[in-house]
C-alpha cells in the first residue's frame, strides 16, 4: 500500500507529512512524486516528516534508494525530520546521496531543517 502524503507549502520549501509502511517501492514512488512537484511548482527544497512511517529498510534497499533519489532528485535539497526510532542508518543514507552529488540531511526539528534549506 503506498504512502499517504499531506503537503504543506512553507516559505522556502514543501513539507511532506508521510505515513504508511516503509518499503523500497513506497520510497521510489515518493521520489517520483517529489520530482513531479519540483517541476510543476518550481520548488527544489523538501522537508520529509517521517513520523508516520512504520518499519525500517534493509541496508541494501537503503543503498538502492539513495541511488534512485540522487538520480531523480539531484537538484533538490531534502531534509528528513521525525525519523522513527528504528531508523539507525540515517548517516548511511545521507552519505550515499552526498557521494553521488545529492543533498540529504536529517534533523531533529522542523526549524533546523528550514534553517538548512534557507542557506544557499
| Residues 32-72 pLDDT 10s | 999 999 999 999 999 999 999 999 888 899 899 999 999 99
Distances (CA, A) of 25 to 20, 43, 97: 12, 24, 18
The CATH number for 63's domain is 3.30.750.24
pTM value is: 0.93
Of 14, 23, 17, 20, the closest CA to residue 5 belongs to 17
- CA 66/CA 110 separation, integer angstroms: 22
DSSP 4: E
| Domain ranges, residue 81 | 4-118
Span 88-98, average pLDDT: 84
**Total domain count for the chain?**
1
Q: In the prediction, which pLDDT does 89 show?
A: 78
Question: How are beta strands 14-21 and 45-54 bridged, if at all?
Answer: parallel
Amino acid at each position: 500500500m503506498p504512502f499517504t502524503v499531506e503537503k504543506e507549502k512553507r516559505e522556502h520549501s514543501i513539507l511532506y507529512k508521510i505515513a504508511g509502511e516503509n518499503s523500497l517501492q513506497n520510497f521510489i514512488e515518493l521520489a517520483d512524486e517529489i520530482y513531479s512537484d519540483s517541476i510543476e511548482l518550481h520548488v527544489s527544497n523538501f522537508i520529509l516528516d517521517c513520523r508516520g512511517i512504520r518499519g525500517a529498510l534493509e541496508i541494501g534497499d537503503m543503498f538502492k534508494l539513495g541511488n534512485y533519489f540522487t538520480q531523480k532528485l539531484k537538484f533538490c535539497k531534502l531534509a528528513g525530520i521525525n525519523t522513527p526510532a528504528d531508523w539507525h542508518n540515517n548517516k548511511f543514507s545521507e552519505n550515499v546521496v552526498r557521494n553521488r552529488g545529492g543533498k540529504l540531511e536529517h534533523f531533529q526539528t522542523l526549524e533546523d531543517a528550514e534553517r538548512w534549506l534557507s542557506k544557499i
